[in-house]
Amino acid sequence: MMAYNHNNAAAKSRRGAAAAPPPPAERIVEEQLPVRSAVGTVTNVYQACIAGFWRNVTVQWFKNLMNISFSITIDGVDGESSQTCKVDLKPWHFWSKKGYKSFPIGINRSFSGDANVMAEPHVLEIYWDLRTAKFAAGGPEPSSDYYLAIVSDEEIALLMGDNKKKAYKRTKKRPALVDAVQLIKKEVVYGKKSFSTRARFAEGRGEHDIVVESSITSGPRDPEMWISIDGIVLVHVRNLQWKFRGNETVMVNKQAVQVMWDVHAWLFSAPGTGYGLFIFKAEASEAESDKEGSGRGSDSNGSAYHSTVSQTRVSEFCLFLNAWKFE
């Protein structure tokens, strides 16, 4: 299986001065769920400023035959352990689709420099409302009419969903000074010939519909594969039995996106024992790269805070699609 290195996905953290970046989410790429353990799973990795640090925040959505659930994992820094909060949305309990939870992470450090000052856990607040949420193609992740908010230090550090006004009204918290940035989306899907997902390749732009289709049969016809974005076929692979691994760069709304695939398991493994891997990575244009270079700066403590966030917004997002094929 082709490997993809995204160790540069995490930006520099800070606590008054620059600190080491949070650990990258390598487990997102290598994780293999048991076949049919869920109808589908979606994993999103964001970076948000929480308790004075840029931290990786992993939001996972799960769907099985009974219910939908989500979990939020906050990565630790400086030796802290990661903390996870899980919420089950029971289908027969309408009230469970709107709720609130709080949970502690790490410690609330003192910035006085006095090692004898006692430190307390930093408490996060989670608000959600999925009572009217819509789910695209029956997947586990809501596509509209919902919100999920993470509150830290009287700010909404991370806000997902389109009902943003309702989230601010309910939480009575202010927006974060710098918005959270999505680094990774990984989706596990199941199907026979067609697999679909949605992704946003740059902050501030709309989502794109992505569809992978294949014609792998036991007959004399050579297998083929098509990858389309927003209804336009951008990658067409003939003689797939010889080109089961590859990559191409395509243009999506004047933005370069690198597409990589590995479907060896589709062709040479028993049905249901392996998945096809697809990676979509947005590439920064020359104009955006020049803008990043000219916009580099530092905060009052010398940390390249603003330029780091700008770089992540433009060039760090990756979509990983694990497509399990069944006959």
Kindly report, residue by residue over 110-134, the tens digit of the pLDDT. Answer: 444 554 444 577 899 999 999 999 9
Q: Which of 209, 61, 86, 204 is nearest to 139 (CA)?
A: 61
Q: Which helix (H) or strand (E) holds 28?
A: helix 27-30
- Chain CA centroid to CA 304, Å: 24
Cβ contact 131:111 at 8 Å: no
Average confidence score pLDDT of the chain: 78
Number of C-beta neighbours around residue 137 at 10 A: 12
What's the pLDDT at 218?
65
Cβ contact 280:168 at 8 Å: no
Cβ contact 68:87 at 8 Å: no
pLDDT band (50, 70, 90) for residue 150 = very high
Q: How far apart are CA 138 and CA 272, in angstroms?
A: 21
Q: What is the mean pLDDT of residues 186-197?
A: 92
Question: Residue 259 pLDDT > 80, yes or no?
Answer: yes
CA atoms within 13 A on the CB side of 47: 29
Q: What is the mean pLDDT of residues 167-187?
A: 94
Cβ contact 216:240 at 8 Å: yes
Q: Which of 4, 78, 64 is nearest to 259 (CA)?
A: 4
Token pair 């689709």: residue:
97
pTM over 0.85: no
Question: Residue 304 pLDDT > 80, yes or no?
Answer: no
- Chain CA centroid to CA 261, Å: 19
Q: For residue range 37-52, list pLDDT tens digits in order.
A: 456 899 999 999 998 8
Q: How far apart are CA 66 and CA 9, in angstroms?
A: 35
b/e per residue, 271-298, with b = 16+ CB within 10 A? eeebbbbbbbbbebeeebeeebeeeeee
Q: What is the mean pLDDT of residues 101-112?
A: 68
Q: How many helices (H) and strands (E) does the chain have?
A: 5, 22
Residues forming a β-bridge with 251: 256
Token pair 């076949």: residue:
35
What's the pLDDT at 80?
78
